[in-house]
Each structure stands twice: as C-alpha cells, then as structure tokens.
Amino acid sequence: MPTSLTYTLVITGAPWTSQAPQTALAFARELVSAGHQVDRVFLYGDGIHLASALSTPPSDERHWPREWSEFLAENGVPAVACIASALRRGLVDEAEQARYELTGSNLRPPFEIAGLGEWVEGNMKSDRVIYFHGSV
Amino acid sequence: MSTLIVVDQAPYGSWAGREALDMTLSLAAFDQPAALLFTGAGVNWLRKHQAPEDIGQKSVEKNLAAAPIFGVEEILADATACQRYGLTEDNMIAGTSMVTDTSATLNSHQQVVFAG
C-alpha cells in the first residue's frame, strides 16, 4: 500500500451557499500535512463561484476564495474552473472577456478556466477523486 | 477504469443533472468507460415526450438519446423508482436498461460520481 496518494478534488458547491469549499479546503490542508499530494482542484457547477475575484465578504468574516487561492499558490496546486459552468455564471478571464466582448473579467489567480477534459484527466491519473457537493 | 454517474434529481428543477450528463459525455469523448444510473426522481429524465420549452429549457431527451452514439456504455434505470413514477418501456426513451439491484451496479464500477 502506498504511503502517499494523489488526489483530485472536485468542488460543486458555491461559497456562502454551501459548506463545500470550506470542507474541501480543510481536507486539502490535511492531505498536504499528511504527506499526500493534491494533483489538481476542479470547480464545477456552482463551485466556480469560488474563483471569483469580486467576492467581498464583510471584513470580520473568513474570505474563502482568498484562502483557497493562497493555499493553491503556497502548494503549487493547479486549479481549474470548468469553462461551460463559468461562462454561464459570469466568471471569465481576460481571454474570454475579449472573445465575447464583455465589460470585464473576474477570475482570481491562480485559478484558470478550462474544459471538462481537466476533470477527465484527474479521473484517470489521480489515486482518488473526492467530490464536495452543495445541496441540490 | 469505469465511471458510473448517478442522477437522482428530477430534470429541469436544477442544473445538476444536466451538468452530470456533460461529465458523462466528456468521459466518453476521451474514450473513458462511462455509464449513467438514474434513480429516485431522476428516472423522470428517461420519460418520453418531455416538453420543457414553455419553461425556457431545452429537452434533455435528445442529449440522452445521443449518449450511446458518443460512446456512453450504458443508460441504467432503477426499476423500483421507475415503477413508483409510472415508467415502463412504453413511455421511456429507447436504449435504457432496468436494474433491480442498484447496489450491485454501484459496486461494479471503480468510480461512482453523484450529480451535485
């Protein structure tokens, strides 16, 4: 049995609607501290709201998008928001802003926007794929 | 490695099922074995003659009918749920198979993904 496993984390619940991003962050931190590797994070459905650069919670509340992006940067973990989910819900990077001639872009680095192929690849390569859903 | 995508919510009430279908189709597009299991209120996805245009949605019937063409291996329906919702072969879209033992179905796949 390997002592270290690789993980893909899929988040489908939005921050401030569900607990999914917070639970996933706690899980990701535990993985790293236990010597496991987070291969990638994939945001899908409402989960893409985690990657918004415009979320502005009151200053005495936890800022989940910022905490997540700090975790990703510190640990060199790639994170991708599904492009179809993102565009429908108003999350765009500069390339999509230009493509659709939109008034702004709002993707928080180091999150990126890409297709479901990223999730498929995680499904193929990681030892474990763990889902963090909101309520339906 | 086979992946089973489970849809247990009725169509059109949320976007989760539609996004689960997109996941299934994208696995198939990358030549990964994928199957769909509809259970609970989710079996209503498989009803013939859906007409959601009046509520501003596109019918999922065509997407489902296309799933086998795109390489989705199986479209499975929980027989007990079908009975509860009055679904029989006559009023279900073609190409679906009934399963009576859903836990055996879950166990026969390496990965099981529930629609969010």
- Rounded to an integer, what distance in angstroms lies between the CA atom of residue B65 and that of residue B79? 19
Cβ contact, residue pair A129, B111, below 8 Å: yes
Q: What is the pLDDT of residue B63?
A: 85
For residues B27 and B35, is the Cβ–Cβ distance under 8 A?
no
Tell me, yes or no, if the pTM score tops 0.90: yes
- Rounded to an integer, what distance in angstroms lies between the CA atom of residue A131 and that of residue B114? 8
Q: At B37, list the tokens.
A: 């299991």
* Chain A touched by B55 (CB under 8 Å): no
Residue A136 predicted with pLDDT over 80: no
- Rounded to an integer, what distance in angstroms lies between the CA atom of residue A60 and that of residue A79? 27
Could you give the ipTM of this predicted complex? 0.88
A61, burial (CB in 10 Å: exposed 0-12, middle 13-18, buried 19+): exposed
Q: What is the pLDDT of residue B62?
A: 84
Average pLDDT over residues A22-51: 97
- Rounded to an integer, what distance in angstroms lies between the CA atom of residue B33 and that of residue B15? 24
Q: Which residues of A are catalytic?
A: 82
Shortest alpha-carbon distance between residue A118 and chain B (Å): 10
Q: Which of A45, A85, A124 sits opposite B32 (nearest CB)?
A: A124
Q: What is the pLDDT of residue A1?
A: 55
Chain B residues in contact with A124 (beta carbon < 8 A): 1, 30, 32
Residue of B nearest to A125 (CA): B1
Q: What is the pLDDT of residue A2?
A: 60
Cβ contact, residue pair B116, A131, below 8 Å: yes
- Rounded to an integer, what distance in angstroms lies between the CA atom of residue A130 and that of residue A83? 20
- Rounded to an integer, what distance in angstroms lies between the CA atom of residue A53 and that of residue A35? 30
* Chain B touched by A135 (CB under 8 Å): no
**CATH number of the domain that residue B66 is part of:** 3.40.1260.10
Residue of B nearest to A43 (CA): B116
* Chain A touched by B58 (CB under 8 Å): no
* Chain B touched by A114 (CB under 8 Å): no
**What CATH architecture is A6-55+62-132?**
3-Layer(aba) Sandwich (3.40)
Residue A18, Cβ neighbours under 10 Å: how many?
Answer: 20
* Chain B touched by A48 (CB under 8 Å): no
pLDDT digits (tens, 9 = 90+) for A54-89: 999 999 999 999 999 999 999 999 999 999 999 999
The total domain count for chain B is 1
Kindly list the domain boundaries of chain A, sorted by start residue: 6-55+62-132
Chain A residues in contact with B32 (beta carbon < 8 A): 120, 123-124
A87's enclosing H/E stretch is helix A83-89
- Rounded to an integer, what distance in angstroms lies between the CA atom of residue A41 and that of residue A29? 13
Q: What is the pLDDT of residue B14?
A: 86
Q: Which of B9, B32, B116 sits opposite A120 (nearest CB)?
A: B32
Chain B residues in contact with A13 (beta carbon < 8 A): 116
Cβ contact, residue pair A116, B22, below 8 Å: yes
Q: What is the pLDDT of residue B105?
A: 95
pLDDT digits (tens, 9 = 90+) for B28-59: 999 999 999 999 999 999 999 999 999 999 88
For residues B45 and B4, is the Cβ–Cβ distance under 8 A?
no
User: B68 lies in which domain range?
Assistant: 3-114
Q: What is the pLDDT of residue A73?
A: 98
Average pLDDT over residues B70-83: 96
Chain A residues in contact with B26 (beta carbon < 8 A): 115-117, 119-120
* pLDDT bracket for residue A34 (50, 70, 90): very high
Task: Find residue A41's DSSP bridge partners.
Answer: A9, A79
Q: State the residue for tokens 């790293």.
A: A32
Residue A126 predicted with pLDDT over 60: yes
pLDDT digits (tens, 9 = 90+) for A18-31: 999 999 999 999 99
Q: What is the pLDDT of residue A135?
A: 74
For residues B82 and B98, is the Cβ–Cβ distance under 8 A?
yes
